[in-house]
Amino acid sequence: MKKLIYLDNAATTKTAPEVMEAMIPYFTEYYGNPSSVYDFAGISKKALDESRETIANALHAKENEIYFTAGGSEADNWALKATAEAYAAKGKHIITTKIEHHAILHTGEYLEKLGYEVTYLDVDEFGVVKLDQLKKAIRPDTILISVMFANNEIGTIQPIKEIGEIAHEQGILFHTDAVQAFGQVPIDVDEYHIDMLSASGHKLNGPKGIGFLYIRKGVKIRSFVHGGAQERKRRAGTENVPGIVGLGKAVELAVNTMEERTAKEKELRDYLIDRVLKEVPYTRLNGHRTNRLPNNANFSFQFVEGESLLIMLDMDGICGSSGSACTSGSLDPSHVLLAIGLPHEIAHGSLRLTLSAETTKEDIDFVVESIKKIVTKLRSMSPLYEDFIKQN
Ligand SMILES: *Cc1c(COP(=O)(O)O)cnc(C)c1O
């Protein structure tokens, strides 16, 4: 197999070797059920407690505020559905944004069918939530504001502290989907006035199928899975002990390496952005120039079809992602790119590249050359581009 250049770390990441190593004994040796009474099970129980402590410390939260889930989607579903149920007597209005992950958007649509009202806030051209619009959207029956910490497509980081302040001034709960941000930017749930926060293992070099929901003490929230007494009776099911151990290790690594790793990623990200914008004409950067995830670059190439670009990059061994989601044969442009105001045809020519700690300058140089070659080729086959060049 030729060299793989993996630049799709917003989709998932490689499990770190240290994480694998930490997990293995909990498959092979310490397989006890943490709920059992004998000493052997106590080893599993202790591992859960340690992971919970690591995660709580990373957020400046308390251990009993961390609830393990089967990933980010479950945590998002739980936060919205259980809050809606527990606070229905106060009101049935929820505020979120147009650029959330589908785990939030589709849960919102589901709640609308149950009689809740959901306001989807606009964002500006950089993908930032408009705070004045948020303030205006708040009503006496608003029970929850859910705004993602950082966007998975365009990388824009939201003014989370300001949003949290607005929510708390009005006595409204604040949830944030931090699946992309956790491990990449420092988060303090008190400073940011966060009541609930979703995160996922596989987005930060941990295993897939494990994540957590932070729930601030005092928030009324219903059980998500009914059954045994695990997770303080709120999320039943024998714990995914190896996964939880792996998640804890991944969080420890992410926190310990954050400063150095993200500084290096930012430098390479900016190098990539600068070269592409300079060397590929009729190209734009999506998202905020500086206030974005350290590893995210998202471009739109005019007169280029994103899916073709991806396929040709794949032939060069490059893994990226386009802004289009291929649903049942029809190519819908990304809801995020439409929300920042891109016309359909521009949104269709988009490419997201997300770096990792392992990405090198040589990788980026190779990728830029490949993009230049492919974009030139695709444009040479485009009648629209031909007309455009004739007219200019
Ligand atoms: C990946 C992702 C999710 C879903 O997490 P899973 O663990 O894959 O279920 C939710 N929100 C955002 C922003 C994501 O990037």
Report the alpha-carbon angle 226-230-233, nearest 5.
55
Quote the ligand 1 centre to 354 CA distance (angstroms). 15
Residue reference for tokens 């966060």: 194
pLDDT digits (tens, 9 = 90+) for 133-184: 999 999 999 999 999 999 999 999 999 999 999 999 999 999 999 999 999 9
Which of the residues 24, 326, 381, 384 is marked catalytic?
326
Burial class (CB in 10 A: 0-12, 13-18, 19+), 374: buried
Q: How far apart are the C-alpha atoms of 296 and 152, rounded to whole Å?
A: 9
Look up 319 and say whether it is catalytic: no
Residue 332 domain-assigned (yes or no): yes
- Atom in ligand 1 nearest the alpha carbon of residue 71: 7
Q: Is the CB of 73 under 6 A from ligand 1?
A: yes
For the chain, how big is the Rg over CA atoms in Å?
Answer: 22
Q: Which residues pair with 214 in a beta bridge?
A: 66, 197
Q: 152: annotated binding-site residue?
A: yes
Residue 48 domain-assigned (yes or no): no
Q: Is the CB of 261 under 6 A from ligand 1?
A: no
Residue 354 domain-assigned (yes or no): yes
In this structure, how many other beta carbons lie within 10 angstroms of the beta carbon of residue 199? 32
Q: How far apart are the C-alpha atoms of 13 and 206, rounded to whole Å?
A: 8
Q: How far apart are the C-alpha atoms of 291 and 177, rounded to whole Å?
A: 17
Q: Which of 12, 100, 101, 334 to mutate to test the pocket of ligand 1 (most atoms within 8 A of CB)?
A: 101
Quote the ligand 1 centre to 200 CA distance (angstroms). 7
Q: 133: annotated binding-site residue?
A: no
Q: Which residues pair with 285 in a beta bridge?
A: 299
pLDDT digits (tens, 9 = 90+) for 28-52: 999 999 999 999 999 999 999 999 9
Q: Is the CB of 51 under 6 A from ligand 1?
A: no
Residue 269 domain-assigned (yes or no): yes
Q: Is the CB of 118 under 6 A from ligand 1?
A: no
pTM: 0.97
* Strand spans (E) along the chain: 5-6, 66-69, 93-97, 117-121, 142-146, 173-177, 196-200, 211-215, 283-285, 296-301, 318-319, 325-327, 330-332, 350-354
Q: What is the largest distance, in Å, between two alpha-carbon atoms of the chain?
A: 80
Quote the ligand 1 centre to 179 CA distance (angstroms). 6
Q: Are 251 and 206 in contact (CB under 8 A)?
A: yes
Residue 348 domain-assigned (yes or no): yes
In this structure, how many other beta carbons lie within 10 angstroms of the beta carbon of residue 43? 17
Q: Are 310 and 320 in contact (CB under 8 A)?
A: yes
Q: How far apart are the C-alpha atoms of 191 and 195, rounded to whole Å?
A: 11
Q: Are 306 and 351 in contact (CB under 8 A)?
A: yes
CATH of the domain at 342: 3.90.1150.10
Residue 108 domain-assigned (yes or no): no
- Atom in ligand 1 nearest the alpha carbon of residue 151: 13
Determine the pLDDT at residue 128.
98
Q: In what order do the strands lie in the sheet with 296-301?
A: 283-285, 296-301, 350-354
Quote the ligand 1 centre to 36 CA distance (angstroms). 32
Residue 222 domain-assigned (yes or no): no
Count of domains observed in the chain: 1
Q: Are 163 and 137 in contact (CB under 8 A)?
A: no
Determine the pLDDT at residue 51.
98
Alpha carbon 190 to its chain's center: 21
Determine the pLDDT at residue 2.
73
Q: Are 249 and 19 in contact (CB under 8 A)?
A: yes
Quote the ligand 1 centre to 259 CA distance (angstroms). 23
Residue 295's domain comprises 5-12+258-391
The three-class DSSP label of residue 71 is: coil
- Atom in ligand 1 nearest the alpha carbon of residue 76: 10
Q: Are 320 and 355 in contact (CB under 8 A)?
A: no
Q: Are 302 and 282 in contact (CB under 8 A)?
A: yes
Residue 275 domain-assigned (yes or no): yes
Q: Are 225 and 237 in contact (CB under 8 A)?
A: yes
Nearest CA to ligand 1 atom 3: 72
Extract the tokens encoding 177: 């989907």
Q: Which of 9, 12, 200, 224 to mutate to test the pocket of ligand 1 (most atoms within 8 A of CB)?
A: 200
Provide the 8-state DSSP code for 299. Answer: E
Determine the pLDDT at residue 331.
66
pLDDT in tens, the chain (392 residues): 678 999 999 999 999 999 999 999 999 999 999 999 999 999 999 999 999 999 999 999 999 999 999 999 999 999 999 999 999 999 999 999 999 999 999 999 999 999 999 999 999 999 999 999 999 999 999 999 999 999 999 999 999 999 999 999 999 999 999 999 999 999 999 999 999 999 999 999 999 999 999 999 999 988 999 999 999 999 999 999 999 999 999 999 999 999 999 999 999 999 999 999 999 999 999 999 999 999 999 999 999 999 999 999 999 999 999 865 554 445 678 999 999 999 999 999 999 999 999 999 999 999 999 999 999 999 999 999 999 999 98
